Amino acid sequence: MSTKFQMPNRRDFLGHLSLGSIAALSHLASSGQAALPAVAPHYRPRARNVILLFMCGGASHLETFDYKPKLNKWAGKRADEIFSAEELRGFNPEKTVDGCKILPPVFDFKQHGQSGAWLSEIYPRLGEVVDEIAFLKAVHTDSAIHSVGETIWHTGHARPGFPSMGSWVTYGLGSESSDLPPYVVMKDGISTAGDVVFQQGMLPGQHQAAVARVESGKPPFPYLDLPSGVSAERQREHLAALNRLNRLHRDRHPTQPELTGRIEALEMAWKLQQSAEGAFDLSRESAGVHALYGENQFSKHCLTARRLVESGVRFVEIFDGAKGRKWDAHGNRGGLIGNHRSNAGRTDQGITALILDLKARGMLEETLVVWATEFGRTPFEEANRETQLGRGHHHKGFTLWMAGGGVKGGTSLGATDDFGMHAVKNPVHVHDVHATILHLLGLDHERLTLRHNSRDVRLTDVFGKVIHEVVA
């Protein structure tokens, strides 16, 4: 015989919830993680979803994708003998470039695929999918400081407080899933700029990233596990009761719209408990899929990213290198050689598997994969190196790439000079990359705006042009 459920008052109800549940529900309510309806794009999109692979720390273009053999001719020459004082301004602001010597690539390169793209030896597997990739080899940005570079990449602005790219995408397109957040971030630590780069800024709270963890036996979103001794049915009754109380309170206070967001957040919390673990449950994948991706944490993030976009998540970011594994190739951080060989070796299989898997499932055409970093590295070594070679921060010319999602694969746009110093042929700014990503999603970057403080705020600020050369 069932017992009739008596609606508790708010005090009694809260007494039945664990502190973890309260924390989770409070977080979701404050961030507004409620389901977003899908929104029609400005025009026909090429892509429906984005997977961003962000390499934190400034990966060297000269050791990855931008082959500069002519650097060998100038090896050992002082940078200030080749470049003017103005050209050398802005690198590693806290360090001097006096006495720095030209450093040739420390890894071998070879060509891959029908496109003949040059790849460093540290990316042997990526050659399998190189004809799906469009390289942008003349990217530049506004700062050689990690935190500023990360903020510019994620938000289009040097100052914190503006919405992240993922937030803009969900603002423009909404969600394809009613059970999962539209914007999910998986990371291995804290970014240099802090989690502000994943926040929604002045956009409504439901556009903030949901930061997830991929750990066996643990829920992807902390504190959403059921309180001890409480069944799913019982918690559902509790949530229904709290929602009825909140709706009564909202009806009495119609001028407080945040109450509706709180109600929606409670609903999302319930849905996450029921569905999120399924999307994050990698045990449901075959042994062959696990072998394809590999078993390190980055590979698990890549596999989870595929499962999330397959489940309707609009924007997924894998933020790599934050926890003691930065691509920050200074001499005192393990040295350029050890740093990049380790980081590329850790990520090569997962990236390659992601593209192969998306293609095999017919998902690559509608999923845009972006490999990015905040800036590149200098063509000269650090003057104050300790025992190992290192390169400084470099924002005047570096490489990013995109694959799938309407991108013209097997292409390479732009070039730096023979030193890898300046973007000299078809240069593009990070603002242009942002405009292109939005364009592939069917969004006009100049029309995707929010009125705030008497001005129209947008991801590309007052800049940006679509890079049509890499659009299929």
What is the predicted pLDDT for the residue at 8? 42
The mean per-residue pLDDT over the stretch 409-424 comes to 98
Coil/strand/helix, residue 212:
strand
Whether 382 is covered by a domain: the verdict is yes
Whether 26 is covered by a domain: the verdict is no
**What does the pLDDT look like over 286-329, one tens digit per residue?**
999 999 999 999 999 999 999 999 999 999 999 998 666 689 98
Whether 249 is covered by a domain: the verdict is no
Q: How confident is the model at residue 332 (pLDDT cuts 50, 70, 90)?
A: low
What are the tokens at 373? 């970093």
Q: CA–CA separation, 46 vs 139, rounded Å?
A: 23
What are the tokens at 361? 């499932």
Whether 29 is covered by a domain: the verdict is no
The mean per-residue pLDDT over the stretch 40-59 comes to 96
What is the predicted pLDDT for the residue at 18? 38
Q: How confident is the model at residue 388 (pLDDT cuts 50, 70, 90)?
A: confident
What are the tokens at 8? 């508790």
Whether 182 is covered by a domain: the verdict is yes
Q: What Cα–Cα distance (Å) separates residue 261 from each residue in 30, 36, 266, 267, 427?
A: 8, 11, 9, 10, 43
Q: How confident is the model at residue 387 (pLDDT cuts 50, 70, 90)?
A: low
**What does the pLDDT look like over 50-106, one tens digit per residue?**
999 999 999 999 999 999 999 999 999 999 899 998 888 877 655 667 778 999 999
Q: Is the pLDDT of residue 30 over 80?
A: no
Question: In terms of Cα–Cα distance, which of 297, 263, 267 is closest to 282?
Answer: 297
Q: How confident is the model at residue 149 (pLDDT cuts 50, 70, 90)?
A: very high
What is the predicted pLDDT for the residue at 38? 85
More confident residue, 277 or 436: 436
Domain region containing 94 = 37-231+286-470
Which range has the worst mean pLDDT, 60-69, 132-141, 177-186, 378-387?
378-387
Question: In terms of Cα–Cα distance, which of 195, 170, 187, 133 is closest to 459?
Answer: 170
**What does the pLDDT look like over 426-438, one tens digit per residue?**
999 999 999 999 9
Pairing of strands 398-403, 133-140: antiparallel
Q: CA–CA separation, 208 vs 214, rounded Å?
A: 19
Q: CA–CA separation, 115 vs 237, rounded Å?
A: 59
Whether 278 is covered by a domain: the verdict is no
Q: CA–CA separation, 140 vs 50, rounded Å?
A: 22
**DSSP class of residue 53?**
E
Whether 105 is covered by a domain: the verdict is yes
Alpha-carbon Rg of the chain, whole angstroms?
24
What is the predicted pLDDT for the residue at 231? 74
Cβ within 8 Å of residue 295, ≥6 positions away: none
**What does the pLDDT look like over 211-255, one tens digit per residue?**
888 887 777 876 566 667 777 677 667 767 777 887 787 788 776
| CATH label of the domain that carries residue 82 | 3.40.720
Q: What is the mean pLDDT of the chain?
A: 86
Note whether 24 and 222 are within 8 A (CB): yes
Whether 327 is covered by a domain: the verdict is yes
Q: CA–CA separation, 320 vs 328, rounded Å?
A: 12
**DSSP class of residue 471?**
B
Q: CA–CA separation, 185 vs 171, rounded Å?
A: 16
What are the tokens at 118? 């040059």
Number of domains in the chain: 1
Q: Across-strand partners of 394?
A: 376
